[in-house]
């Protein structure tokens, strides 16, 4: 420890601490402009000057390390005068526009000037007017107000690790800019908004804010888009959300940086198209009605179908966008209220495989460590994942591990993604060959005895069976199927085995690829062999997908993945819920559609999901829903599915209700109501309690807090979760009792008892499928950074909808040249059953023979309608997003 004296108080700090670090611990205020606790110390602004009395030196406290015996003054006359001169010099070239500046009272320069007693500057003014730039929908730049603190550049380089901006020019003309001063939208900028959040002045500000003023109050909440679960502050004026910022001070949250959706895509809350009253169909039209009429109709019609056709004539489709409490109540309504296990959630493109596909191998498909642990890894394997698009926070962590910790990144992806420049080795298998490559890795690890022997022998079963199963899988097959040379496969397997610690990031490109089950099994087996189970990251794409699964919004599990095959479990739930429960597997979401088309399902209740938009083959879904005797839809907007309903129940958004979300890290976080519900809309949990009451069920809980109390009494790994605790901190599951602080890292304690198991590779998928004759292209359907899921929310964000720079069908330029095509050409894609026309764009990052189409609600055609409807046995496994197509030029 290093002992010093600051303002007459003796204190000790750690080796390497700066004067500013220790002063902050001592609660001694020192003003700063260029310093931020999430960035490396920089020392640009010099506002943090302090005086060292022994030497008489003025030191920049943010970069000056502690030295034994220092005597520091933070507010001596000499220090204050130096600070005043520095601030006056800044103000000499700063516009005199404080009264109309959007930064307002949040401007740090203005606050420091006030604290130092500086009014009008007495220095000769050096105006540096550069004009305001409002080109993209997200960020407004007025570099006349820039003080060259470098925070925006350092946030870009250190937090997001993009390198989109840096200093441009020198001297008086210096300013932050992109390469060659091109527009932000033409650079590598992803519009995460980190630069805007961190800017101390009005040089960078949010464009098109709903209200140009400082929020009157801020409420802690959670971003409702992807499974990263970033903590946010919602700034509110009156009853309206006017600002969104990351919660940069709470160390329990995942990140101090958001992505473009989290920062600029939440304006759907105030969309003019929000449903503000319930609707009911009369004479073929949906018209506004009272809540009593709508709820009475739902309860009456669902009960009528149950009594006439039996409980399994009803089906319930929930949502990973709803809270834990709402998903719990929804499945309870289905099971205890109407006696059916026909309950599922989500859409087949954005969901993880059902938990039992992971269960024997790695818990229940959740991440086994927080995302922050990625930065501890020395070797990172990313397979089938494009986290820059689907889980940006994971991408930030991967890039930081490579850039600042020297980690080796091994990237497996047929497409060139934004992670390629960070990779030590980019393994580019043919599309569909990822599973074969992973099996090749497994074979090398086994043959050369590179697996983590002690850990595997102690914790994993089935090694002998795995060896026998892998016997016919030699590297020649892996090379043939993947297109990666066998020596490269052998070398990369050795590299992975030599790195420690390791992290394994797995994306939907594996389980939604050509051989999804094989790829998933191979990935889990490889992770278990290498000990990656300690940092295993399957990337889900919905905010509460983990929570919806935990809550039992599944056709084959009760809450907590508990089975009705266990009599004690059933009796416990029946006692808590006040009646008998069904004891057989229900229908998955896609099976519901199939049985509705066959007339077996007669009534459906859909909460927060839009299958007409988000399922493949919209005409098939429309036809099936059209055959229902009754359809109730509960949503924020009049979606394509809601337009078919008999009753539409207007729900409140995440910002207008209380509840909890469980992100992909297994982190339970609290939502707080920040704004008033739109019109007469109600929180989903409130609607469900009213429907349950009208169905004749026992009274339900009267608040989300009471619902969580019931959840914690029935789900063992939620037993320690309570609102009183969540108001102070987030909790990472399992959390088994009120004193338990959670389990950040599995398998310190896993959900299930006993050893883990290697997975069997599905025999029918073991061999690589040959490309069918006459279909030279494979179409890959993927995600885009600027939209989420089916686009129900993101398409109602005015800013996101105006900016999606890379939409449309993409093709390798060489393939386009061979077909006589160019960017902007119209082409027809054909499968055996369907054809569609698209506008073409060129993408050199695609391999020959592969087409790519990002899912976007603004797309001219619904490309997912080309995808085949899954077979009977694939009900609980995500839809494959790869299919064979023919391409034909359309002459114009």
Q: In what order do the strands lie in the sheet with 314-318?
A: 285-288, 279-282, 647-650, 630-635, 603-607, 314-318, 343-345
Q: Which two tokens stand for residue 810?
A: 């993409």
Question: Whats the size of the chain, residue-wise?
Answer: 892
pLDDT, average across residues 247-258: 71
Over range 712-726, report the average pLDDT.
Answer: 97
* pLDDT value at residue 360: 59
Phi, psi of 235 (to 5 degrees): -85, 130
pLDDT for 306-322, tens place per residue?
A: 999 999 999 999 999 99
Q: How many CA atoms lie within 13 A of 839 on its CB side?
A: 8
Q: Is 676 left (phi over 0), alpha (psi -120 to 50) or beta?
A: beta
Region 801-819: mean pLDDT is 85
Q: Which of 255-259, 328-332, 625-629, 646-650 has the lowest mean pLDDT?
A: 255-259
- Quick one: pLDDT band at residue 359, thresholds 50, 70, 90? low
Provide the CB-side half-sphere exposure for 349 (13 A, CA): 29
High-pLDDT (> 70) share of the chain, %: 93
**Of 857 and 609, which is predicted with more confidence?**
609
pLDDT tens for residues 108-160? 999 999 999 998 778 888 877 777 888 889 999 999 999 999 999 999 999 99
Mean pLDDT, the chain, rounded, equals 90
Best CA proximity match to 244, nearest among 229, 258, 225 = 258
* β-pair type (314-318, 603-607): parallel
Strands (E), 379-476: 379-383, 408-412, 425-427, 460-461
List the one residue out of 356, 405, 353, 361 whose CA is nearest residue 384.
353
Instruction: Please state, in angstroms and rounded to a whole number, the distance separating the CA atoms of residues 506 and 510.
Output: 7
Report residue 74 as tokens: 């933070």
The pLDDT tens digits for 541-559 are: 899 999 999 999 999 999 9
Residue given tokens 């304006």 in the structure block: 267
CA atoms lying within 13 Å on the CB side of residue 404 = 16
Structure tokens that stand for 501 in this block = 């610690």
Are 324 and 660 in contact, with CB atoms under 8 Å apart? yes
366-393 pLDDT per residue, tens: 899 999 999 999 999 999 999 999 999 9
Q: What is the pLDDT of residues 820-849, one digit of tens each?
A: 999 989 999 998 888 889 889 999 999 999
Of the listed ranges 50-59, 205-214, 544-553, 556-565, the least confidently predicted one is: 205-214
- Cα distance between residue 49 and residue 83, in whole Å: 7
Yes or no: say if 209 and 270 are a contact pair by the CB < 8 Å rule: no
Residue 858: per-residue pLDDT: 59
Summarize the confidence of residues 416-421 as an average pLDDT: 96
Please state the rounded mean pLDDT for residues 856-884: 73
CA dihedral 485, 486, 491, 493 (to 10 degrees): 110
Residue 875 above 60 pLDDT?
no
Token pair for 145: 């107000």
Which residue in the block uniquely carries the two structure tokens 């320069």? Answer: 109
Q: Please tell me the predicted confidence (pLDDT) of residue 699.
A: 63
The residues facing 205 across adjacent strands are 140
d(CA 663, CA 545): 7
- Report the pLDDT value the prediction gives residue 715, as an integer from 0 to 100: 97
Give the confidence band of 256 by pLDDT, cuts at 50, 70, 90.
confident
Q: List the one residue out of 837, 835, 843 whose CA is nearest residue 860.
A: 837
pLDDT at 504 over 80: yes
Q: Which pairing describes strands 835-842 and 882-889: parallel, antiparallel, or unpaired? A: unpaired
pLDDT at 365: 79
Q: Quickly state the pLDDT bin for 253 (edges 50, 70, 90).
A: low
Q: Are 881 and 855 in contact (CB under 8 A)?
A: no
Q: Is 634:330 a contact under the CB 8 Å cutoff?
A: no
Report the C-alpha gap between 370 and 883 in whole angstroms.
34
Assess contact for 540 and 574: CB atoms under 8 A. Answer: no
Q: What is the DSSP letter of 155?
A: I
If one counts every other C-beta atom within 10 angstroms of the C-beta of residue 860, the result is: 14
pLDDT tens profile 753-804: 567 888 888 765 555 445 544 568 999 988 889 888 878 899 899 999 888 6
Q: How confident is the model at residue 208 (pLDDT cuts 50, 70, 90)?
A: confident
Average pLDDT on 403-426 reads 97
In this structure, of 263-272, 414-423, 771-780, the range with the lowest mean pLDDT score is 771-780
Query: What are the tens digits of pLDDT across the range 181-196?
Result: 998 888 999 999 999 9
Ordered DSSP codes for 171-211? GGG-EEEEGGG--GGGTT-----HHHHH-SSSSEEETT-SS
- For the residues of 541-557, what is the DSSP string, one character each? -STTHHHHHHTT-BTTB
- Which pLDDT tens digit goes with each residue over 684-699? 999 999 999 998 776 6
Structural domains in the chain plus CATH codes: 2-75 (3.10.20.740), 279-351+544-662+672-715 (3.40.50.740), 355-538 (3.40.228.10), 770-889 (2.40.40.20)
């Amino acid at each position: 420890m290093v002992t010093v004296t600051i303002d007459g108080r003796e204190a000790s700090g750690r080796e390497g601490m700066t004067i500013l670090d220790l002063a902050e611990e001592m609660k001694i205020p020192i003003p700063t402009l260029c310093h931020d606790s999430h960035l490396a110390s920089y020392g640009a602004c010099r506002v943090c000057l302090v005086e060292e009395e022994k030497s008489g030196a003025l030191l920049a406290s943010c970069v000056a390390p502690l030295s034994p015996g220092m005597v520091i003054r933070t507010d001596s006359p000499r220090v204050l005068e130096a600070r005043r001169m520095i601030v006056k010099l800044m103000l000499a070239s700063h516009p005199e526009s404080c009264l109309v500046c959007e930064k307002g009272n949040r401007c740090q320069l203005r606050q420091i000037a006030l604290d130092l007693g500086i009014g009008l500057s007495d220095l000769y003014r050096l105006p540096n007017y550069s004009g305001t730039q409002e080109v993209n929908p997200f960020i407004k730049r007025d570099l006349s107000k820039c003080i060259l603190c470098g925070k925006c550049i350092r946030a870009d380089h250190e937090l997001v690790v993009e390198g989109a901006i840096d200093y441009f020019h020198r001297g008086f003309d210096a300013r932050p800019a992109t390469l060659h001063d091109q527009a932000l939208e033409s650079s590598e900028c992803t519009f995460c908004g980190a630069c805007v959040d961190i800017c101390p002045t009005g040089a960078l500000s949010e464009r098109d804010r709903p209200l140009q003023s400082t929020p009157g109050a801020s409420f802690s909440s959670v971003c409702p888009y992807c499974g990263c679960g970033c903590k946010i502050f919602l700034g509110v004026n009156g009853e309206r959300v006017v600002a969104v910022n990351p919660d940069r001070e709470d160390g329990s949250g995942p990140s101090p940086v958001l992505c473009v959706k989290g920062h600029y895509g939440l304006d759907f809350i105030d969309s003019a198209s929000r449903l503000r009253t319930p609707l009911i169909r009369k004479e073929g039209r949906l018209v506004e009605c009272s809540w009593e009429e709508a709820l009475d109709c739902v309860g009456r019609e669902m009960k009528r179908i149950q009594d006439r056709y039996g409980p399994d004539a009803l089906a319930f489709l929930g949502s990973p966008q709803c809270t834990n409490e709402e998903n719990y109540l929804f499945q309870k309504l289905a099971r205890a209220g109407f006696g059916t296990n026909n309950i599922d959630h989500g859409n087949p493109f954005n969901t993880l495989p059902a938990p039992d596909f992971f269960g024997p191998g790695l818990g229940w498909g959740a991440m086994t460590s927080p995302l922050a642990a990625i930065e501890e890894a020395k070797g990172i394997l990313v397979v089938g994942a494009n986290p820059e698009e689907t889980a940006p926070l994971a991408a930030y962590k991967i890039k930081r591990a490579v850039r600042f910790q020297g980690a080796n990144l091994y990237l497996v992806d047929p497409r060139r993604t934004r992670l390629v420049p960070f990779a030590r080795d980019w393994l580019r298998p043919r599309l569909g060959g990822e599973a074969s490559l992973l099996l090749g890795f497994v074979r090398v690890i086994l043959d050369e005895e590179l697996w983590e022997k002690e850990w595997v022998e102690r914790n994993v079963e089935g090694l002998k069976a795995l060896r026998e199963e892998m016997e016919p899988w030699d590297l020649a097959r892996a090379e043939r199927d993947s297109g990666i040379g066998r020596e490269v496969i052998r070398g990369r397997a050795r590299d992975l085995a030599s790195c420690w610690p390791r992290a394994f990031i797995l994306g939907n490109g594996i389980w939604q690829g050509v051989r999804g089950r094989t790829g998933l099994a191979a990935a889990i087996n490889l992770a278990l062999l290498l000990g990656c189970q300690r940092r295993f990251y399957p990337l889900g794409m919905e905010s509460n997908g983990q929570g919806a699964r935990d809550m039992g919004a599944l056709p084959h599990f009760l809450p907590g993945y508990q089975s009705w095959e266990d009599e004690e479990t059933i009796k416990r739930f029946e006692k808590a819920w006040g009646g008998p429960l069904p004891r057989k597997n229900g229908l998955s979401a896609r099976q519901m559609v199939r049985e509705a088309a066959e007339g077996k399902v007669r009534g459906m209740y859909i909460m927060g999901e839009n299958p007409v938009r988000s399922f493949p083959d919209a005409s098939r879904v429309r036809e099936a829903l059209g055959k229902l005797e009754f359809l109730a839809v509960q949503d924020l907007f009049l979606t394509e599915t809601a337009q078919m309903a008999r009753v539409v129940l207007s729900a409140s958004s995440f910002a207008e209700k209380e509840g909890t979300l469980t992100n992909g890290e297994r982190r339970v976080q609290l939502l707080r109501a920040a704004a008033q519900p739109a019109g007469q809309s109600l929180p989903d949990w409130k609607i469900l309690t009213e429907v349950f009451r009208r169905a004749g069920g026992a009274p339900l809980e009267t608040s989300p807090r009471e619902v969580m109390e019931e959840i914690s009494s029935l789900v063992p790994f939620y037993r320690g979760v309570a609102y009183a605790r969540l108001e102070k901190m987030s909790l990472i599951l399992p959390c088994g009792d009120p004193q338990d602080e959670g389990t950040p890292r599995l398998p310190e304690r896993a959900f299930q008892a006993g050893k883990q198991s290697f997975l069997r590779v599905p025999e029918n998928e073991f061999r690589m499928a040959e490309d069918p004759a006459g279909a030279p292209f494979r179409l890959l359907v993927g995600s885009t950074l600027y939209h989420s899921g089916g686009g129900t929310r993101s398409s109602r964000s005015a800013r996101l909808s105006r900016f999606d720079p890379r939409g449309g069908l993409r093709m390798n330029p060489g393939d386009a040249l061979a077909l006589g095509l160019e960017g902007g050409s119209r082409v027809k894609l054909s499968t055996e059953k369907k054809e569609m026309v698209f506008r073409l764009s060129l993408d050199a990052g695609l391999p020959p023979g592969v087409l790519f189409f990002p899912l976007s609600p603004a797309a001219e055609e619904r490309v997912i309608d080309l995808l085949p409807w899954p077979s009977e046995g694939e009900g609980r496994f995500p839809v494959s997003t790869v299919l064979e197509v023919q391409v034909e030029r359309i002459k114009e």
